Amino acid sequence: MPGSLLMIILYLAVAVFVVGLIKRGLKIAKLPIHLRWELSPVPHEKGKASYGGSYLEEFEWWTKPREKSLLNEFWYMFLEIIFLKGVWENNRRMWYFSFPFHFGGLYLVVVAVALFKLSAFIGFTGTNTSAIASLAIGVSVIAYGLGAFGVIGLCIQRLTDPVLKPFTTPSHIINLVFLGSIYVSGLAAIFSISNYAAQMTGFIQGMVTFSPPALPGIMGLHVILASAFLIYLPFTYMMHFVAKYFTYHEIRWNDTPMPGNDKMEKEVGELLSQSPTWSAPHLKADGKKTWVDIATEEMDK
């Protein structure tokens, strides 16, 4: 397959993905401040997180220094992201497929791509990088193998498990099949092309110098499928890795009190001066009265 065509598709895909990622993140971040809705355990509570305690356990908590541990938050997220701790604890049956899919089909794929890039960049210096490239191949095989195992298992579960089935929509299956096709085409390319590592390294180098070599058909198909997935991804709920930052850090663990926080007070003041339009009779929100007006008016006696 012509290298330049593949290069254009891949650059385009990466651009769409990056723009989609930023847009998603900004869209969530730009939503207004919310009322406190924290949920224990909050891991940054130093000395208390292990049992779910918070600073509100302290006598006159506002007179005590806030002791936060970012390391605890990091550790919590590490276990959650890498090992899917929540799924392990609460949904073991799904974990057996979800974990290989996430760990292999996503994280190891990223590692494999990084290794190929490393091999390509070091290769520019004339150094022999066959060891790194071989490692990249090994990681790719494990990644695609685990990913394929995971998506097949998840597909079967989603289609047959009476608990999951009523909630399964065509998009769930298409997403999994799409990912599966990337893993299978990757494995097929690796096993059918004897110098896959050299071709991939050369292709990445060509992407940098804007003169990529042509790739064998199956490898080209693999690159196209991966690119198409990158373009598709920002339009799906699979971007939950972005959302997860907010659901944990900004909602579950956001326990910042308002007193003394001028910036927050100012923002809340502005939000309270908006005019809601709810139509229930006890509110009489006519689109002119503000939140403050409605909240401070007396109920008819």
Partner 1 sequence: MKKSQKIEDFGKNPEQPLTEVKLEDLPPLPPPYDKLEEQPTWKEIPEEKKKDMACNLDGFVGLSLPKPASAEEEKELVDKFVSGLQKLLTKENNWGFLQPLSLTLEYCAKCQTCNDSCPVYTESGKNDVYRPTYRAEIWRRLVYKYAKKSHPLMTKFKHGDIDLNWTTISRLYELAYRCTMCRRCAQACPMGVDNALVTHELRKMFSQELGWAPSELHEKGTVQQLKVGSSTGMSPLVVKDNMEFVDEDFSELSGLDANSKWDVEGADVLMLHNAGEIMAWPENPAAFAIIMNAAGVNWTLSSESPGYDGVNYGLFYDDFQLARIALKHAATAKKLKVKKVLMGECGHQHKAMMTISDRILIGDMNVRKESCIPFLEEIVFSGKIKLDPSKNDFPVTLHDPCNITRNLGIIEPQRRILRHICPQFREMTPHGVENYCCGGGSGFAIMSGNNFADWRISLSGRKKFRQIINAFQDKPGPETKKYVCAPCSNCKGQIRDILEYYDAKEKSNLIYGGLVELIVNAMVDIKEPFIKWDE
Q: Which stretch binds partner 1 (CB under 8 A): 123-131, 136-144, 187-195, 272-280?
A: 272-280
Contacts (Cβ under 8 Å, ≥6 apart) of 81: 241, 244
In the complex, what is the shortest distance from the CB of residue 142 to partner 1, in angstroms, rounded to a whole number?
24
CB count in 10 Å sphere of residue 285 = 17
- Asked if 200 is part of the footprint of partner 1 (rule: CB under 8 A), the reply reads no
Q: Which of 4, 8, 23, 34 binds partner 1 (CB under 8 A)?
A: 34
In the complex, what is the shortest distance from the CB of residue 61 to partner 1, in angstroms, rounded to a whole number?
7
Q: Which of 166, 194, 209, 288 binds partner 1 (CB under 8 A)?
A: 166
Joined together, the tokens standing for residue 17 give 């993905």
Closer CB to partner 1, residue 128 or residue 171?
A: 171
- How far is residue 233's CA from residue 179's CA, in Å, rounded to a whole number? 10
- Asked if 268 is part of the footprint of partner 1 (rule: CB under 8 A), the reply reads yes
- Asked if 82 is part of the footprint of partner 1 (rule: CB under 8 A), the reply reads no
- How far is residue 115's CA from residue 201's CA, in Å, rounded to a whole number? 10
In the complex, what is the shortest distance from the CB of residue 22 to partner 1, in angstroms, rounded to a whole number?
17
Mapped onto helix, strand or coil, the DSSP state of residue 284 is coil
Backbone angles phi, psi at 69, to 5 degrees: -120, 105
> Distances from the Cα of 165 to the Cαs of 154, 156, 179, in angstroms?
11, 10, 20
Closer CB to partner 1, residue 180 or residue 212?
A: 180
Q: Which of 65, 131, 282, 288 binds partner 1 (CB under 8 A)?
A: 282
- Asked if 288 is part of the footprint of partner 1 (rule: CB under 8 A), the reply reads no
- Asked if 69 is part of the footprint of partner 1 (rule: CB under 8 A), the reply reads no
- Give, as ranges, the residues between 222 and 251 that touch partner 1 (CB under 8 A): 237, 239-240, 243-244, 246-248, 250-251
Burial class (CB in 10 A: 0-12, 13-18, 19+), 152: middle
- Please write down the HEC assignment for all residues of 142-207: HHHHHHHHHHHHHHHHHHHCCCCHHHCCHHHHHHHHHHHHHHHHHHHHHHHCCCHHHHHHHHHHHH
- Give, as ranges, the residues between 37 and 56 that touch partner 1 (CB under 8 A): 37-42, 45, 48, 51-56
Closer CB to partner 1, residue 2 or residue 257?
A: 257
- Asked if 77 is part of the footprint of partner 1 (rule: CB under 8 A), the reply reads no
The mark string for 107-146 relative to partner 1 (x by CB under 8 A, - otherwise) is ----------------------------------------
